[in-house]
Structure 1
Amino acid sequence: MQKMKNPNIKGEGYQQGDLYGYQTVKQFVLARDNYTCQACKKKGGKLKIHHLIYRSLGGTNTVDNLITVCSECHTTKNHQTGILAKWCQDKKQVHKSYKGATFMNILRRRLFTAFPQAKFQYGAWTTLQRADLGLAKSHYNDAVAISGIKQIKVKPTRIVMFKQFRKKKRSLHEATARKGRKTTNVMSKRNAKNTKYAKGFWLNDYVKIKDSRSKGYISGFSKATCYIKDIFENYLTVSPKYKQVALSKLVRITHNNNWSRQEINEKNYQMY
């Protein structure tokens, strides 16, 4: 991953993180952003460090969630409806995420351990094979091209996608106080807030909203309501004002464990 971030890295550079040479996180963020407001692009002046994903919504203090903005842009209005709100909603990233690459590196090692007879196939070869077969760029078409097939008789029209779902929060305590609190919450009782079940429904149940075609997975509960998302993390709602959907308006299709499965049209497929 370090090589992908910095192709020139070598030697001790692998032992030196992003913050190496900086005394504080704020100093690093300001230097990284060239002391320039990333909203209005004005350099200098009174600069502030802004959380892209708000702390109140679970945003962290890591450098990937911090960005430089000036005091004129760092306003309540921008937090509520302006550019800062849009950044938060769109989950703007300062740097490219390497989460997918990390996962694939782990998966590759496991596959080669399980199937020692497997061989490497590089993207340049796959691109040529896919072009010969007249297939569009996508993960599933890459798999078809790699298989060695010589002719395509029927192209797929629907795709089955799988996604892992975390039912339980990792942390049982908080090292620092939440926004609005003066003391840290170091009691493991916080785990009791991880509601897994409510009124006959469980987390990650695949459900249908009555009197509509909307189908999705329960991602969380709030008393007699819940949050429903599709496999692309889009909220499915009844009212444009509220994300919550009443449990009384749901019909369970299937009960799932930690995996979500959804069949979609090929035209709706998104290349990640």
Structure 2
Amino acid sequence: MVSYCFVLDRKRRKLSPTNENRGWVLIRKNKAALINKFPMVIQLFKEVADEEIDQTPIHFNIDDGSKFTGIALVQECQTKNKPVFKGTIEHRTDVKEKMDKRRGYRRYKRSHKKYRPKRFHNRSSSTRKGRIPPSIKQKKEATLRVLNNLMKWIRVNHIHLENVMIDIHKLEKGSQPYRWDYQKSNRLDENLRKAALMRDHFTCQDCGKKHCRLEVHHIIPRRLQGSNSIHNLITLCSSCHENVTGEESNHAKRFFDKIQGKKIIFLDAMHVMQGKTYLQQEVKKIAPLTLTTGGDTANRRIDWDIEKSHSNDAIVLSQLHVSSKQCDMKDWIIKPMRRRSKKKVEEVNGFQHRDFVRYTKRNGDVYEGYITALYPKKKQCNLTTTEGKVLKRYGVNRLKLLWRFNHIYFLNKHE
């Protein structure tokens, strides 16, 4: 599995990334120093001349989502484009719950101030025009924090952002065929497939199942000149789809009656758009921005035979062709943490709150994670592993410090 490290020269100018193994060789030969370990960043002891600095464009791609955001850095080379970084940002989902709890405390406190007259609309944040809900805004700011952090180590010449899940304009007005349209006539456009699933509320229209494998069925099959149109598609589970295959004409009227008059509700697509204007405005201040859609991303990923993941979707956003083999690289889990820490203990045996550590059990099992609590009396700690497992009251004597926390966790993804 390939992994790259970021490179700076003696004046901290950003150079093109190199292979991690090459970076460790430079460190061992005393030609560079390790600046950051997760992800790996080295600084050369020599100054690189301006004419020797590689200026090939580097694209930063953002596959924006509500729970996970895929990001990738792709270097546009003359011969073969090269992905140099990919990862998935895990967003916080507890903000609304914490705000509701805080609101309850505030209302309880105010309701007992009987001497104070009632006041309404006195909070400036709730009356401000164009206000973004904090639960949504914090996700956009987390993406910007990661972008700004990476830009300390690598140049970004262009930014690509996935705008919506499906392209509503293309769905209504029609779209130009993709390259594979001329070769694989039976493959359904991802833009249409997602639209059909959304219209049918992600439910099988024959048996009513929801939590199962869902497929989009041509009511009039393509072999009988059925069209690739939203009006000829219906959502079925895999078993119902198998039952009607070969007997489509017997079920056509019944299926057409089910979808007749149904409108596509774009609530999900519109919900994804919340906060996008803010994100786009902030990103444009950094580098030129290009927008794309989820349907185009999925079509391109399938066309290039790349495995689906948030980070792989981000790689293909820039339309720079890469192979599936190039995408087989280190995949980071990125966790921007709260700026305020609730720690009550500064350190225990040299270990601090949020330190990234390795714990080795007596039976040889190894866990990697970050410290979430410290207990000085018994010299114990709580850990949250990279897989999300919580370990409570583990002794600090078996800990090994891997890296000191610095606002954002970059964790290795375990398959």
Name the TM-score, length of structure 1 as normaliser: 0.47
TM-score by length of 2: 0.32
Q: Which has the higher contact order (CA 8 A, sep 6+)?
A: 2
Q: Which has the larger radius of gyration?
A: 2
